Amino acid sequence: MGREEMLKNVEIFSELGRRDLERVGKLMVPRQIRAGEVIIKEGDQAAGFFVINSGKVEVVQDVDGSNPQQLATLGPGDFFGEMALFEGFPRNATVRAMDDTECLAMTRWDFTAEMKNHPEIAVGIVHVLVRRLREVESKHTH
């Protein structure tokens, strides 16, 4: 699967056209992660977004504490760290490779620069974010 097809399956990019998906795809850099290696650490400054090409990762909160909780297991085509594209708040979970894993990674700085040069990317993403916000609000008001 090419980068554009992979990104089209990432919810926040699902409204983007082919040309914008190509632009975003060019910002992504392949990263090889060994089994057991931490990709992002809870509490660290958020700076990157990842799409899994191959392998498997676990998302864990309080990984070094007395009560670690596994939140999810993610595999090929899954993504994590998407909020880092928009803000740099500390990470709320640790993501660790369970197998040797290959990801495509993108930094917030590269993504922000691309949105400034091509604002239609931001417009496409805003639609998805607003829809997600409405879904969350409707769950909490019923």
The reported pTM is 0.83
Contact 44, 62 (CB under 8 A): no
User: What are 20-59's pLDDT values in tens digits?
Assistant: 999 999 999 999 999 999 999 999 988 889 999 999 999 9
Name the packing angle between helices 18-26 and 119-141 (round to 10°): 100
Of 1-5, 35-39, 93-97, the one with minimum mean pLDDT is 1-5
Whole-number pLDDT of residue 138: 85
Query: Per DSSP, what are the bridge partners of residue 70?
Result: 60
Is the pLDDT confidence value at 101 over 90? yes
User: What does the pLDDT read at residue 130?
Assistant: 85
2 forms bridges with which residues in the sheet?
A: none
Q: At what angle do helices 18-26 and 108-117 cross, to 10 degrees?
A: 140
pLDDT band with cut points at 50, 70 and 90 for residue 142: low
Q: Pick the range with the lowest mean pLDDT from 11-25, 51-65, 82-96.
A: 82-96
49 close to 105: Cβ distance less than 8 angstroms = yes
Q: Where are the domains of the chain?
A: 3-141
Q: Are the beta carbons of 46 and 93 closer than 8 angstroms?
A: no
Residue located via tokens 């369970």: 98
Percent of the chain with pLDDT over 90: 52
CATH architecture observed for domain 3-141: Sandwich (2.60)
Dihedral sign for Cα atoms in the order 116, 117, 119, 124: negative
> Helix (H, G, I), strand (E, B), or coil: what is residue 27?
coil
